[in-house]
Amino acid sequence: MNLMSEEKNVAKLDFETSLFTIEGRTFLKQLSSVSRVLSVKDAGAEFWGDEKVKTGYVGDCKSVQLFECPDGFLLFCNKAFTNNNWSATGQTVAEVLDKVSNFDVKKKIEEELSNAGA
């Protein structure tokens, strides 16, 4: 599933953690595996990508974002009451969702994509 057009969009993502921590470097490494990181500042990054889904609260996440990037997809979960945010990447949406253990998150992303006709 490659929804991205030839025109590249710049997406922004706030990891809400310092990119100098192990967690922050992990997010950056995952992002780099599917997109070109254009800039990094504080706890955020700009990169080539297109936000396909952004939810409100789902399970224990205050938001979940799915980005389509030139080399795959990035799913980012911003945890509600902790700093233990997590992310997953893959070449396809199905590959990303296979890595998600939270049933509520998986179901919500599938519903949102279905509603968008993706």
- pTM surpassing 0.75? yes
The pLDDT of residue 14 is above 70: yes
- Structure-token pair, residue 112: 């949102």
SS (H, E, C) 46-111: EEECEEEEECCCECCEEEEEEEEECCEEEEEEEECCCCCCEEEEECCHHHHHHCCCCHHHHHHHHH
The rounded distance, in Å, linking the Cα atoms of 10 and 75 is 16
Q: State residue 7's pLDDT score.
A: 55
Give tens-digit pLDDT for 33-54.
Answer: 999 999 988 788 999 999 999 9
The pLDDT of residue 1 is above 50: no
